[in-house]
């Protein structure tokens, strides 16, 4: 790997330059070069179309360009693909730009640290970096870091990436010059720079953002004045204002967004005149709202029925915000959740509706969406209270110079009158000019210049950037064949929300992946086994993770729809799968998937017929992975616990990106998995990281693993990151529900979960389990009436039957009986809704445990004793030992032999983890122990158990129980 920074030697005018790895560039006094010996070129399975490594030129080295360079290296390293990356930007360092170039420590990020990781698969990355930098104060995920601190984080992360393993395949060069033009050649693109270079590129990424502040509102008399600051983010722009002591002390800010907040803080601190009053005006006369002191989960709405016209969408959005505020006491989670659906809603609008929103409603949205850090809001409130900061609605009409410096500015106020202010300075805080056609930027103008009958780019709505297809530029003829991509602010016209780091990091990863797929496509395998170029027209269709499918495009589309529903934990997975095999009756993988889901996930499928169809089809059409998976399904149908588990793990060792295989292997609410051993399940999920990287589905699975490990903060961040990519991810929601329960967030957890189920989770499978989680929150709050209503409406048979009735309904009723004095609903209907074999002859430790609990709840002591005998004869060690002991303890409790029950439960609790399931599910056994301790008169010991639990998490129910015990002991 080689990294070259700040390379700026001039080429002769018109000189054509093909960039080499940065070690070939001769350093001068402004060059910092880091060299690490480069490895041999990676072996290629297919000859590359070019003899040299592909070169990607990124125009712009601010946050967007830096993030693209970062993900190019990480993605290239993961693929063992060589690539040379060139950043073109006159800035002296990458990762700055207008947003993060400030050196004022009062300028804070307007997103908490938890949302600012540059790595989607590691949402705690920035928090961890801050913790290393500042162990005492950097670990708070809800903190709002300094902007310059984030710039340093970007800088160090990019540098470390290229100096680490990804740098074995990627080189990075920073050219300190400005790109001014772009033209297409027969082999790629050429970027022309202001210093006369011409850079050959296989692909170009336009990451300029909006490079010019807009001040078209300002009259000529103002723009011509030396006392007008057109761009407060220009280096040193505010220094002279802070030093000025000669003219009027007051300063007028035009614009009242986050820029105005930062500028106001900079111009009123200790380094400024004490007599200064900062006046801020805008058309609406509103400052941004403040962030909440404590982080809350975003309430993401289901917008499928919100309509496609602006009035309908605005009405639905208002209802959503009102509902969230009513249910949670705060509108902010509603606004944060709406943010994730904005691009979907924006895409539905007509051009006229988009223009109407941009001109009439954007200001109101921005006030809610782009909020102040709480500490900044407190400072602003203090300045306003003391009269040093004044906020008004108004617009500038004219300006004239004052005799001793400064300006008299005429302002139209909101009541159709005029006033004037004598100020020392006027600072433009209206932000960048949105219409790229008016920026006067040579490079962007060149993108819009027609050539050969078409321009490389076409402007998007209201000139807010350019049109793309998933980030790749669409020319004025609707084509996307030029290897040019963009992201960030230049996609605002087609996405609306496209300027914050959470959006840009996802776009950067997508752009990096698309670029490498284009300039260095991975080889693909044909049905006959031949390896061909990734662009080969005969290459087979792919599944959602890129694995080839031996079927038709039509069948593949239906099959992928089914897999995506499985990944999101949605119901009716078998419907599109049946469509797939109807389109292609010889689609072996389609038949095999139906057989597996019918056997293990309760899908409506003829398991044996589907398996036989898969076995017939795969003989004539199927690659090695597909043959292996069909064989796995056959083994699992015959023996899911032993030979089937071994076959599945062997398959995963060779094919870790096989979605169906991973789904069946990992213990979740959808599948029992291949192991009940907690550490083995953790190792399985963590071992898949290299195969999945940033994918939201894998992050969702990892989030659940992290909560199982007690790493709740990390689990929450991972789950939120996954939900920001896929709001319907049931695995991510499941992880978050556990996090909220284990950290005592019972009221907010119940409200958030109910909202998700009603919105993004409308199609969720296993809704009963999510209802069980909500009921646990209500039980912990001591609200048994709410638990009763939820049970009868969402958990009682016939709404819930089968194994879920045992695991969710039966266990809830037993927990209710163990923790409260109020009568619970009868358990017998639950038993009646479950197959007898599932209750009396369960095959897995987890199901056996819940069969025992449900039988105890129904006072079916004879059947419970028979279950205990069945467990002791089981070949499963955990069933034979752990579950059998629980059965004996429940029998003892049923016969009021409390001391025996306590002794047995004391023996079994340390090894209860062997049965599998989550800590929240296994806690029902500890509740049984607490009940028995109180019954036997061991109140002090019961109190100690409750104290230990209350140290882990608050619970009104447990606090009340603890208080009752104290009265008993006293």
162 found inside a domain: no
474 within 8 A of 36, measured Cβ to Cβ: no
- 46 confidence band (pLDDT: 50, 70, 90): very low
- 970 confidence band (pLDDT: 50, 70, 90): low
> Do 377 and 444 lie in a common domain?
no
Separation of alpha carbons 447 and 456, rounded Å: 5
pLDDT > 60? residue 29 = no
Separation of alpha carbons 273 and 90, rounded Å: 34
Q: Which ranges of 3-96 would DSSP assign to H, the alpha helix?
A: 63-79
Given 500, 522, 544, which residue is the final one in a domain?
522
DSSP reduced 3-state for 763: coil
pLDDT > 80? residue 536 = no
Separation of alpha carbons 312 and 333, rounded Å: 21
pLDDT > 50? residue 47 = no
What's CA 359's distance to the chain center, in Å?
Answer: 30
**Host domain of residue 265:** 220-290+373-428
pLDDT > 70? residue 32 = no
Given 389, 412, 428, which residue is the final one in a domain?
428
pLDDT > 50? residue 821 = yes
> Do 646 and 690 lie in a common domain?
yes
> Do 364 and 382 lie in a common domain?
no
171 within 8 A of 85, measured Cβ to Cβ: yes
105 within 8 A of 137, measured Cβ to Cβ: no
Separation of alpha carbons 261 and 389, rounded Å: 10
532 found inside a domain: no
CATH assignment at residue 50? 3.50.50.60
Query: Which helix (H) or strand (E) element contains residue 393?
Result: strand 389-401
> Do 715 and 807 lie in a common domain?
no
103 found inside a domain: no
> Do 571 and 716 lie in a common domain?
yes
> Do 818 and 879 lie in a common domain?
yes
pTM more than 0.85? no
- 213 confidence band (pLDDT: 50, 70, 90): confident
- Using a 10 angstrom Cβ sphere, with 0-12 exposed, 13-18 middle and 19 or more buried, the burial of residue 550 is buried
Beta strand segments in 755-906, E: none
Domains held by the chain: number = 5
Q: Which of 297-306, 423-432, 639-648, 848-857 has the lowest mean pLDDT?
A: 639-648
Q: Which residue has the higher pLDDT, 678 or 818?
A: 818
265 found inside a domain: yes
What does the pLDDT read at residue 673? 83
- 608 confidence band (pLDDT: 50, 70, 90): very high
Q: Which residues pair with 407 in a beta bridge?
A: 401, 423
Q: How many CA atoms lie within 13 A of 634 on its CB side?
A: 15
Q: pLDDT tens digits, residue range 131-163?
A: 999 998 888 999 999 999 999 999 999 999 999
> Do 410 and 323 lie in a common domain?
no
948 found inside a domain: no
What's CA 246's distance to the chain center, in Å?
Answer: 51
Query: Which helix (H) or strand (E) element contains residue 56?
Result: strand 55-59
Mean pLDDT estimate for the chain: 90
850 within 8 A of 804, measured Cβ to Cβ: no
Q: Which residue has the tokens 């975003």?
A: 298
143 found inside a domain: no
What does the pLDDT read at residue 235? 87
> Do 636 and 732 lie in a common domain?
yes
Separation of alpha carbons 386 and 380, rounded Å: 10
Average pLDDT rounded to a whole number, residues 264-290: 94
- 33 confidence band (pLDDT: 50, 70, 90): very low
Query: Which helix (H) or strand (E) element contains residue 485?
Result: strand 484-486
Q: Which of 371-375, 546-550, 853-857 has the lowest mean pLDDT?
A: 546-550
CATH assignment at residue 713? 1.25.40.10
What does the pLDDT read at residue 220? 94
Q: pLDDT tens digits, residue range 544-570?
A: 988 999 999 999 999 999 999 999 999
For 733-759, give one letter per residue: b (16+ CB within 10 A) or e.
Answer: bbbbbbbbbbbbbbbbbbbbbbbbbeb
102 found inside a domain: no
Q: pLDDT tens digits, residue range 637-656?
A: 998 878 989 999 999 999 99
Interior CA angle at 241 toward 238 and 247, to 5°?
A: 165
Q: pLDDT tens digits, residue range 725-773?
A: 899 999 999 999 999 999 999 999 999 999 999 998 888 988 999 999 9
pLDDT > 80? residue 174 = yes
Q: What is the DSSP letter of 52?
A: S
Strands 189-193 and 179-184 come out as antiparallel
> Do 407 and 450 lie in a common domain?
no
pLDDT > 90? residue 724 = no
> Do 248 and 389 lie in a common domain?
yes
Please give the backbone phi and psi of residue 244, each rounded to the nearest 5 degrees, phi first. -65, 125
- 528 confidence band (pLDDT: 50, 70, 90): low
Average pLDDT rounded to a whole number, residues 432-452: 91
903 found inside a domain: yes
> Do 585 and 718 lie in a common domain?
yes
What does the pLDDT read at residue 97? 85
Q: Which residue has the higher pLDDT, 523 or 938?
A: 938
> Do 441 and 578 lie in a common domain?
no
pLDDT > 60? residue 42 = no
pLDDT > 90? residue 529 = no
Q: Which residue has the tokens 């790629």?
A: 188
- 434 confidence band (pLDDT: 50, 70, 90): confident
Separation of alpha carbons 228 and 669, rounded Å: 62
708 within 8 A of 743, measured Cβ to Cβ: no
Q: What is the DSSP string of 405-465?
A: SSEEEEEEETTS-EEEEEESEEEE-S-B-S-GGGS--HHHHHHTS-BTTB-S--B-GGGSS
What does the pLDDT read at residue 601? 85
């Amino acid at each position: 790997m080689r990294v070259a920074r700040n390379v700026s030697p001039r080429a002769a005018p018109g000189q054509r330059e093909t960039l080499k790895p940065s070690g070939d560039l001769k350093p001068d006094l402004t060059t910092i070069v880091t060299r690490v010996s480069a490895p041999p070129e990676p072996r290629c399975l297919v000859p590359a179309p070019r003899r040299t490594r592909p070169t990607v030129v990124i125009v712009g080295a601010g946050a967007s360009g830096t993030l693209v360079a970062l993900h190019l290296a990480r993605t290239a390293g993961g693929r063992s693909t060589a690539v040379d990356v060139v950043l073109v930007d006159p800035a002296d360092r990458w990762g700055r730009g207008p947003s993060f170039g400030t050196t004022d420590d009062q300028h804070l990020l307007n997103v908490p640290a938890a949302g600012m990781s540059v790595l989607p698969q590691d949402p705690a990355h920035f928090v961890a970096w801050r913790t290393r930098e500042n162990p005492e104060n950097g670990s708070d995920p809800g903190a709002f870091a300094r902007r310059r601190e984030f710039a340093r984080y970007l800088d160090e992360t990019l540098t470390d990436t290229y100096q680490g393993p990804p740098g074995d395949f990627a080189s990075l060069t920073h050219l300190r010059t400005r790109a001014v033009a772009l033209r297409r050649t027969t082999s790629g693109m050429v970027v022309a720079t202001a210093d006369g270079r011409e850079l050959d590129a296989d692909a170009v990424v336009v990451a300029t953002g909006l490079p010019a502040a807009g001040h078209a509102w300002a009259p000529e008399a103002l723009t011509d004045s030396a006392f007008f600051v057109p761009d407060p983010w220009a280096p040193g722009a505010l220094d002279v204002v802070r030093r000025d002591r000669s003219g009027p002390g007051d300063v007028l800010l035009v614009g009242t967004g986050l820029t105005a907040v930062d500028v106001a803080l900079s111009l009123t601190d200790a380094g400024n005149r004490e007599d200064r009053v900062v006046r801020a005006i805008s058309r609406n006369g509103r400052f941004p709202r403040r962030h909440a002191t404590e982080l809350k989960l975003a309430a993401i709405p289901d917008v499928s029925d919100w309509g496609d016209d602006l009035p309908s969408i605005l009405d639905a959005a208002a209802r959503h915000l009102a509902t969230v505020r009513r249910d949670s006491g705060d509108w902010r989670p509603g606004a944060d959740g709406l943010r994730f659906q904005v691009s979907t809603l924006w895409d539905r609008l007509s051009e006229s509706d988009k223009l109407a929103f941009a001109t009439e409603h954007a200001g109101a949205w921005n006030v809610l969406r782009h909020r102040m850090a709480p500490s900044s809001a407190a400072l602003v409130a203090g300045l306003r209270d003391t009269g040093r900061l004044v906020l008004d609605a108004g617009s500038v009409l004219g300006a004239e110079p004052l005799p001793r410096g400064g300006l008299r500015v005429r302002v139209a106020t909101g009541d159709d009158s005029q006033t004037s202010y004598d100020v020392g300075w006027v600072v433009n805080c209206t932000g960048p000019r949105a219409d790229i056609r008016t920026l006067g930027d040579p490079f962007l103008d060149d993108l819009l210049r027609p050539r050969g009958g078409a321009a490389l780019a076409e402007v998007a709505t209201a000139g807010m950037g350019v049109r793309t297809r998933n980030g790749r530029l669409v020319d004025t003829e609707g084509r996307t064949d030029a290897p040019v991509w963009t992201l960030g602010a230049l996609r605002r016209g087609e996405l609306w929300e496209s300027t914050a780091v959470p959006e840009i990091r996802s776009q950067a990863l997508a752009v990096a992946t698309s670029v490498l797929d284009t300039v260095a496509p991975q080889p693909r395998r044909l049905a006959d086994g031949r390896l061909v170029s990734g662009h080969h027209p005969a290459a087979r269709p792919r599944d959602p993770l890129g694995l080839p499918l031996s079927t038709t495009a039509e069948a593949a589309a239906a099959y992928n729809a089914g897999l995506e529903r499985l990944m999101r934990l949605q119901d009716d997975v078998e419907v599109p799968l049946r469509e797939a095999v109807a389109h292609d009756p010889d689609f072996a993988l389609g038949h095999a998937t139906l057989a597996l889901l019918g056997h293990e996930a309760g899908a409506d499928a003829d398991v044996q017929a589907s398996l036989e169809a898969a076995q017939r089809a795969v003989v004539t059409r199927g690659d090695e992975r597909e043959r292996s998976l069909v064989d796995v399904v056959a083994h699992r149908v015959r023996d899911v616990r032993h030979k089937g588990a071994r076959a599945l793990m062997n398959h995963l060792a060779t094919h870790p990106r096989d979605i169906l295989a991973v789904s069946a292997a990992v213990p979740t609410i959808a599948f029992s998995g291949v192991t009940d051993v907690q550490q083995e399940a953790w190792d399985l999920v963590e071992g898949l990281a290299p195969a999945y990287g940033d994918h939201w589905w894998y992050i969702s699975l990892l989030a659940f693993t992290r909560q199982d490990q007690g790493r709740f903060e990390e689990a929450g961040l991972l789950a939120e990151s996954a939900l920001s990519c896929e709001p319907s991810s049931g695995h991510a929601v499941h992880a978050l529900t556990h996090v909220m329960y284990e950290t005592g967030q019972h009221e907010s957890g119940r409200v958030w979960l109910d909202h998700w189920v009603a919105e993004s989770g409308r199609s969720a499978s296993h809704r009963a389990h999510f209802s069980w989680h909500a009921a646990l929150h209500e039980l912990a709050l001591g609200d048994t009436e709410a638990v009763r209503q939820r049970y009868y409406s969402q958990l009682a048979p016939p709404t819930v039957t089968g194994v879920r009735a045992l695991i969710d309904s039966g266990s809830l009723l037993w927990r209710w009986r163990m923790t409260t004095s109020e009568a619970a609903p009868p358990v017998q209907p639950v038993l009646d809704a479950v197959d007898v074999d599932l209750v009396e002859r369960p095959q897995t430790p987890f199901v056996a445990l819940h069969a025992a609990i449900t039988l105890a709840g129904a006072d079916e002591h004879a059947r419970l004793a028979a279950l205990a005998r069945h467990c002791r004869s089981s070949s499963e060690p955990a069933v034979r030992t752990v579950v059998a002991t629980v059965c004996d303890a429940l029998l003892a409790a049923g016969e009021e032999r409390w001391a025996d029950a306590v002794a047995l439960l004391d023996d079994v609790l340390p090894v209860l983890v062997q049965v599998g399931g989550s800590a929240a599910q296994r806690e029902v056994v500890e509740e049984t122990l607490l009940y028995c301790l109180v019954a036997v008169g061991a109140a002090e010991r019961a109190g100690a158990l409750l104290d230990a639990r209350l140290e882990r998490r608050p619970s009104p129910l447990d606090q009340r129980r603890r208080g009752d015990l104290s009265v008993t002991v006293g």
